[in-house]
Structure 1
Amino acid sequence: MSDQVYVGNAHADGALDSGWLLGHFKPPGDPRHSEDVEIKWGVHAPGDERARWATGEVRTALLVLISGRFRVELPGRSVLLSEPGDYVVWGRGVDHSWRAEEASTVLTVRWPSVPGYRVG
């Protein structure tokens, strides 16, 4: 049963794979492989921002602020996450972008895990 258990550290493991901890992109047989959900531990320096808006989104997403100040841009709306635990959820078809206003750590959960949509 030990091959079905993985123990790690989100900060350390995330640093190895652009923050991604779980999703379709982990090797089959790895307990972190999932076609249902993706989880990312995002660590961002002040001023980090998405290179371009994500468009044509086919997943639902939840982004939770762990620390810092983090802004999520949505069509016609700007959401500032400023207190640990603040979060935003957006559905399929909602374009988005983001910017770290100060050093920030965020946890992102997306579903389903769709091949070809992982940003490195």
Structure 2
Amino acid sequence: MDDVYVGNAGKDAALDRGWLLGHFKDPDDPRHSEDVEIKWGVHPRGDRRARWVRGERRTALLVLISGRFRMEFPGHDVVLERQGDYVVWGRGVDHSWYAEEESVVLTVRWPSVPGYAVPLGDGEPRPS
């Protein structure tokens, strides 16, 4: 069963800063993909993206699993507050986010593009 992977989003996400699938997984891992990225994001109240994504080259879908989560776009914000609320944005759309309450979100982005890393406080990059 080399091309089957069974896991738990909460546990697996903790191992790779939330990322479950994408170009950043080992090429021999069934979770490796250059077509799509999937993230299970668990955010404490008040958590904010380190800086805005500018010049986005991907399309994205973000679905609220629980909590209250604000997506910020130039000129307007979108607040997701009911389980299943979602927002889609396309290439070229600058954005950021803020967890108004403890939140869990599922993000799907395509294609999976290397080079989108935001430095952490300690200078270590993370997928963005």
Where on the TM-score scale, by shorter chain, does this alignment land: which range? over 0.9
Which residue does the alignment assign to 1:36? 35
What SS does the corresponding residue of 2:107 show, helix, strand or coil? strand
Alpha-carbon distance in 2 for matches of 1:117, 1:63: 17
Residue-by-residue CA offset, 1:10-59 (whole Å, 9 max, x unaligned) = 00000000000000000001100000000000000000000111101000
Which residue does the alignment assign to 1:24? 23
| 1:77 positional shift | 1.2
TM-score by structure 1 length?
Answer: 0.97
**Deviation beyond 3 Å, 4+ runs, structure 1:** none
Alpha-carbon distance in 1 for matches of 2:117, 2:106: 15
> 1:113 corresponds to which letter in structure 2?
S
- Structure 2 alignment gaps of length 5 or more: 119-125
C-alpha RMSD of the superposition: 0.7
TM-score by structure 2 length?
Answer: 0.91
Which residue does the alignment assign to 2:111? 112
Which residue does the alignment assign to 1:81? 80
| 1:116 positional shift | 1.1
